[in-house]
Amino acid sequence: MSEALLEEFMRGILSILMLAFLFYIVKNSTLLSSKRIHAYLIGVVLTMLAILCENLALWAEQQSPQWRWVNVLSNLVGFGISPAIPLLIALVYDEKLLGKPWLLWPVLGVNALLFLTTPWTGWMFSISRNNEYSRGPLFLLYVAACAYGLGLFIVANDKQAKRMQRGEQVCLALMFAIVVLGLCVQIIVPQAHTSWYCVTLALIMYYCFLREVQSKYDPLTQTLNRAAYEKALLKMEKRVGGTIVMLDLDEFKSVNDQSGHQAGDECLRSAAQIICDSFSRLGNCYRVGGDEFCVLSTRCDQNALEAAERAMMEKVRLARREYAFFPYISYGSCIYHGVGDIQQAINKADQNMYFFKKRNGTQKQNSSCEETQPESLRGIR
């Protein structure tokens, strides 16, 4: 065995050991649903198998022609399973892909065709009688199938990424870049064998990323949680000025009592969506209590604040038109200037919210008020 092949084997063994450790962690995780755990585990196992096949193919290629069948079989299995890996990881974020087979068939169908015909046609690759590997005329079609699967993975994360903070979006983009870079290097330099090691690294990073996201986001509303809120306050204390918006769902307990906790959870999710969408250009939304939310922003833009508040109340009005039990959202805001003034601003925004709630409580609103709701339910600063 040559020194180069031995080094390749050692890298493959280390990658498989790391993936085996990742398999154990994911299997015992409470982070994901059972379906998503199964998708992740299958993706990890297929990656281990692909690395093993690649190393077997490298070994067989250096042997006599009687080992040609090992070379053929290893490449066939490796090529056959690789496009399915990004699809499985995409399912970790978007289980709805299972209900959209027309999105999956471009990958699975094309690759199945190449997989079943390559031993006779050599479309994907060919192994000569002297046991030498070469790429087939349709190899780029296989690359396109892999790229399409990776694209679905990116799309599956896109909606979630829009809710993330900029630093998290950058981390997600870097993980995509690592996989794409490894794939491109191996396409350009076939002897490099970088793709599966980059996939291994990305799988490990991706799970660490999911753990980090879990620690910062509320599982019900998908807004940032209380721990993230406390951390953000510490950062904002060092900045000069900002905007605080405190929000609360009016008479939310009655929704649970009259319509059930499932309806209450749905109201919380919908209200969080409305708040996030309305204030997305201003700052980040946090769930700080049961039905209490807060928006923190480093901007001091009165016009942007008022536009976000109007947008939120219009969305609430539309939601109530569809669901009569949907609660109003009380809010109070405060724009402050100066380092260290954030606690006073929070207290002021909180006072404004409760004054707003007292003045415009749902129990006092009637049909005439509802017609002018966006104007009459203005926040107090």
Tell me the C-alpha distance between 134 and 117, whole Å: 16
pLDDT at residue 160, rounded to an integer: 64
pLDDT at residue 206, rounded to an integer: 84
The torsion angle over the Cα atoms of residues 309, 315, 317 and 321, rounded to 10 degrees, is: -170
Tell me the C-alpha distance between 329 and 271, whole Å: 8
pLDDT at residue 244, rounded to an integer: 94
- Radius of gyration (Cα) for the chain, nearest Å? 27
Tell me the C-alpha distance between 266 and 221, whole Å: 9
Please check the confidence at residue 214 and state whether its pLDDT lies above 90.
no
pLDDT at residue 361, rounded to an integer: 58
pLDDT at residue 161, rounded to an integer: 67
Q: Please, which pLDDT band fits residue 381 given cuts at 50, 70 and 90?
A: very low
Tell me the C-alpha distance between 136 and 117, whole Å: 12
Region 352-378: mean pLDDT is 55
pLDDT at residue 217, rounded to an integer: 87
CB 287 within 8 A of CB 223: yes
Q: What proportion of the chain, given as a percentage, has pLDDT over 70?
A: 92
Q: Which of the two residues, 341 and 48, has the higher pLDDT score?
A: 48
**In which element (H, E) is residue 122 found?**
none
Q: 299-321, pLDDT tens digit by residue? A: 888 999 999 999 999 999 998 88
Tell me the C-alpha distance between 40 and 52, whole Å: 19
Pairing of strands 125-127, 133-135: antiparallel
pLDDT at residue 372, rounded to an integer: 38
CB 31 within 8 A of CB 210: yes
CA pseudo-torsion sign 293, 298, 301, 303: negative
Please check the confidence at residue 329 and state whether its pLDDT lies above 80.
yes
CA pseudo-torsion sign 360, 363, 369, 373: positive
Place of tokens 């080094």: 7
CB 223 within 8 A of CB 293: yes
pLDDT at residue 1, rounded to an integer: 61
pLDDT at residue 117, rounded to an integer: 87
pLDDT at residue 316, rounded to an integer: 92
Residue type, 257: D
pLDDT at residue 342, rounded to an integer: 85
Residue type, 80: G
Pairing of strands 329-336, 242-249: antiparallel
Tell me the C-alpha distance between 175 and 198, whole Å: 9
Write the DSSP string, 140-170: HHHHHHHHHHHHHHHHHHHHHHHHS-HHHHH
CB 103 within 8 A of CB 90: no
**Residues contacting residue 314 through CB under 8 Å, at least 6 positions apart:** 374
**In which element (H, E) is residue 292 found?**
strand 292-297
Place of tokens 């995509």: 176
**Distance of alpha carbon 375 from the chain centroid:** 37
pTM to 2 decimal places = 0.73
Region 348-376: mean pLDDT is 62
pLDDT at residue 359, rounded to an integer: 77
* Residue of 339, 289, 287, 281 lying closest to 306 (CA atoms): 281
Domains of the chain: 3-216 (1.20.1070), 226-376 (3.30.70.270)
Region 249-268: mean pLDDT is 81
